[in-house]
Amino acid sequence: MTIELSELVEQIDSRKDELIDLLKKLIEFKTPAPPARNTKEAQTFIANFLQEKGFIIDMWDVYPNDPNVVGVLNGKEEHAYKSLIINGHIDVAEVGKDENWDVDPFIPIVKNGAVIGRGAADMKGGLAGALFAIQLLHEAGIDLPGSLLFQSVIGEEVGEAGTLECCKRGYKADFAVVVDTSDLHIQGQGGVITGWITVKSDQTFHDATRRQMIHAGGKLFGASAIEKMMVIINGLQELERHWAVTKSYQGFLPGTNTINPAVIEGGRHAAFIADECRLWITVHYYPNETHEQIIEEIEEHIRHVANADPWLRKNPPIFEWGGKSMIVDRGEIFPSLEVDPNELGVKQLASAHREVIQEEVIIDVSPSVTDGGWLGEAGIPTAIYGPGNLQNAHAVNEQVSIGQLVSYTKVILMFIYNWCNTKRL
């Protein structure tokens, strides 16, 4: 570590009150999703912060009043040195009316060595630490030879994939760090996809015809879509058990790859046989699988289940997968992300952690999901690394340890400096 970098890292201890104030400022912006459509003020603050540090700002609405912000600090020798994306989401989990917080969730306080407030752990702590690291580099007059991109995105809490919109806009780098909640572990993740399965009759029958459908001699080829959905659910449970037996991934407990029948909607009135039923499922899959692969496996299995049932064979289930928003179209995708410990970016991040924390970093998998999968799917080597733990994410009295926040800020500062000073081969 150079003397200049060492001095910057040491400054974080003496200036931690500034770091805490920055985090508190971010928490004060009320950005819960749902309801969403409330991030413009916070994103404008981040855009102005970055612009003052020499970044070129790209700010555009993903949804009304929910803009993405991408700041680009072009390296002085960008073609010869590695580029880096720092990515995080500005939205936070919703606060329920009945949640018994000790304080107002959006008026943060410091207590018992932690900052308490909605988003402290998930994940405004990660944003604040990275922004403070950028501030210190700027104040020191350090011109990074490699380019640095800072992405503050919307919609992660409700599957609106602000990060995907950054990828579609063409933002790339040699490595990316998603500074989301990881308890200072370097993490990959499994994936999540939601889907709707619909069972629908081409005819509608009066309730009084039910006997003709279910008893001998009735001669009416009809069925309740709700009851036929039970056949589909049983088939999904069979596949879920099969996956638990035949699939595994290091770091995940057996059977973590689940198919959750989350919501069911069906029927129109008590005087009718249900002519339509819709099932909303959430599927968790492993880091070495893709959502396209999972869709194919589920559809193939359920088609076999349907073909074994006389009515479903004539009225096969209809599948709809994913979506752009849990708010708008009731669907989401979080692609999986594998982390290669031998990837140069991972090695350098682990080295920075080791130098600051004086311990080897834990490289594992998150039991939750982040936007990291979108960056990985765009071909950018990516890792999740941030302060805070999942026990506090979304929790009442959400908080992040100040000690961990300081350590994280030191690590991310050192990593930004070292990575953007790494020559391309």
Report whether 396 contacts 121 (CB < 8 A): no
Which member of 156, 183, 289, 338 is catalytic? 156
Which of 276, 345, 366 lies closest to 85, judged by CA? 345
Q: Which residue has the tokens 């001669």?
A: 219
Report whether 42 contacts 31 (CB < 8 A): yes
Q: In what order do the strands lie in the sheet with 175-178?
A: 56-63, 66-73, 148-153, 84-89, 175-178, 382-384, 186-189, 363-366
Q: Which helix (H) or strand (E) holds 18?
A: helix 16-28
Report whether 418 contacts 348 (CB < 8 A): yes
Report whether 374 contacts 151 (CB < 8 A): no
Which member of 28, 66, 78, 91 is catalytic? 91
Paired with 59 in beta bridges are 69
Query: Quick one: tokens of 311?
Result: 């009515």
DSSP string, 112-169: TTEEESTTIIIIIHHHHHHHHHHHHHHHTT---SS-EEEEEES-GGGT--HHHHHHHT
Which of 15, 4, 89 lies closest to 374, judged by CA? 89
Calculated CA dihedral for residues 352, 353, 357, 358, nearest 10 degrees: -70
Backbone CA torsion sign across 340, 343, 348, 354 = positive
Q: Is 18 noted as a catalytic residue in this protein? A: no
Provide CB contacts within 8 A for 112, sequence distance 6+. Answer: none
Rounded CA-CA distance 420/137 in Å is 12
Pairing of strands 175-178, 186-189: unpaired
Q: Is 276 noted as a catalytic residue in this protein? A: no
Backbone CA torsion sign across 405, 411, 415, 416 = positive
Rounded CA-CA distance 278/135 in Å is 51
Which residues are designated catalytic? 91, 156
